[in-house]
Amino acid sequence: MTGRMKRILLAATGMTLLSISCSPVVARQNGTRDVIATESSGPSYAQLATLALDGNIVLDATIRSATRIPPAEAAGLAPGHVRFYVTADVGALIRASGPLPARVGYLVDVPFDPRGRAPNLKRQRVIAFARAVAGRPDQVQLLTPDAQFSWTPTLDQRVRAVVRDVLAPDAPPAVTGVGNAFHVPGTLPGEGETQIFLKTEDGNPVSLLILRRPGEEKRWALSLGDIIDEAGGAPQRDTLAWYRLTCGLPETLPEASLQSQDDDNATIAREDYAFVRQQLGRCDDGRRR
């Protein structure tokens, strides 16, 4: 490798050759050339939201060139993967904190194709989630091993929708923990309400209300504000409000949240919190937990 290429690679990685890789794309044979393909289901909403929140650059780009990095110089490369330094022509800036040149470079790790060969990345259109490299406006750094995906019209629409959600002035705040929780029994057997106050990154009030009514299914609602109201209902799946809860709430209700409750009411509050967690589902954001 030439000295010039090494200097470019050092700049592209923020002065260190850390493992920077793309989504779990695989190459398959299509006629006479290889193409990149994501899993049929594509990235989850939670994964896209996490990437959109973690970085400040989302690119729609076409790979112009791809130079394979020798394994000895690819520190942290996962088994079964190959690292490339690619240059890509920027077709659109889905999100950016400032202007970018028409062509950028970055490192990307991709798995070998089913035949055990390095995939052909050239001319592939991708959506990449990245951050800027200080002092090198022509270089970006991918956020995570899942930060690049093959472009499709459906994925393009999904990514743009997520970015709009994240940048909206009234976007739900990040949930950082659980505050006080208490259950208030009703006048009838089996009736009652559980209120759970959440901690948020910006300090804005967020709370959960779980309702028990005799002869009715248990229901819950999210309130974004000072007024606790059941009218809003539970957030729809694959929305930013759903994501904030699904990926921000702990699996179980902290005992510190129940200090003011007697044993019976504390037990019901734990059950109601577990009900909400079950309704929300797993945080499938691609991160290891």
Q: Write the CB contacts of 49 (distance below 8 Å, at least 6 apart in sequence).
A: 162, 165, 166, 240, 243, 247, 285
Average pLDDT over residues 59-74: 95
pLDDT at 133: 93
Q: How confident is the model at residue 288 (pLDDT cuts 50, 70, 90)?
A: low
Q: What is the pLDDT of residues 166-195, one digit of tens each?
A: 999 999 999 999 999 999 999 998 899 999
More confident: 20 or 241: 241
**Tell me, what's the pLDDT at 38?**
37
Predicted local distance difference test score (pLDDT) of residue 34 = 34
Percent of the chain with pLDDT over 90: 71
Identify the CA nearest to 143 among candidates 245, 286, 275, 30. Answer: 286
DSSP E strands in the chain: the ranges are 26-30, 33-37, 57-68, 81-95, 103-111, 125-133, 136-142, 148-150, 175-185, 192-200, 206-212, 219-224
pLDDT at 145: 63
Q: In what order do the strands lie in the sheet with 206-212?
A: 175-185, 192-200, 206-212, 219-224
**Is residue 33 predicted with pLDDT exceeding 50?**
no
* Mean pLDDT of the region 93-121: 92
Q: What is the dihedral of CA 249, 265, 257, 270, to 10 degrees?
A: -30
The predicted pLDDT at position 77 comes to 87
CA distances from 83 to 11, 19, 110, 184, 222 (A): 16, 9, 6, 58, 44
pLDDT tens string 191-230: 999 999 999 999 999 999 999 999 999 999 999 988 777 8
Q: What is the pLDDT of residues 265-278, one digit of tens each?
A: 999 999 999 999 99
Q: Is the pLDDT of residue 2 over 80?
A: no
